[in-house]
Amino acid sequence: MKTDYPYHEAMRYIDDARKLLKLVDKDGKFYVDDDYIKKACKTAYNGMLKALDFLFDIKGVPKKRGRKSYFYYEDVLSELNPVLYKNLHSAYLVLYLDGSTGNLNSIRAINAGIECAVEIIKALKPYSKNVNKIKRWVI
């Protein structure tokens, strides 16, 4: 899974999630359409997991065969970086458990979950080439 641009690959997921959320109608402080919310939360969560896979590969964490669970990421990250672990836990609760199931439609809460995912992705910046020179797809 070696790449020269892990930060940009993971941020692409976040940018896609934000694009999806722009399509959702709003009613005050809440999103209205559950389908777009679910897709956006799943996309942001998967981008965070992609970033963690890159980070674990860079740090030399032994790979686990098959599908990795949240608990795998939790165990490794709690030892590797406690601050990133807190972001992982918050993003898991907001984006995966509540957002991707359609149980959450608060704009503030979903944005907070995405920001937790972005904090994890930012850990890849030192390992990416030309971070400032590549045009990002930011909304």
Query: Across the strands, what pairs with 26?
Result: 31
20-24, 61-65, 97-101, 134-138, range with the lowest pLDDT: 134-138
Q: Confidence band (pLDDT; 50, 70, 90) for 127?
A: confident
- Which residue would you say has higher pLDDT here, 129 or 84? 84
The predicted model scores a pTM of: 0.88
- pLDDT given for residue 134 in this prediction: 43
Give the pLDDT of residue 12.
95
Does position 137 have pLDDT exceeding 70, yes or no? no
Is residue 138 over pLDDT 70?
no
What is the CATH class of 6-61+69-127? mainly alpha
Query: Using 50, 70 and 90 to split pLDDT, how confident is the model at 74?
Result: very high
Average pLDDT over residues 86-94: 96
**Residue extents of the structural domains in the chain:** 6-61+69-127
The pLDDT-based confidence of 37 (bands split at 50, 70, 90) is very high
State how far the alpha carbon of 101 is from the alpha carbons of 37, 42, 65, 93, 132, in Å: 9, 9, 27, 11, 35
Which of 97, 128, 117 is closest to 16 using CA atoms? 117
Q: Does the pLDDT of residue 19 top 90, yes or no?
A: yes
How large is the average pLDDT for residues 55-70? 86
Q: What are the two backbone dihedrals, phi and then psi, of residue 64, each rounded to the nearest 5 degrees?
A: -105, 135
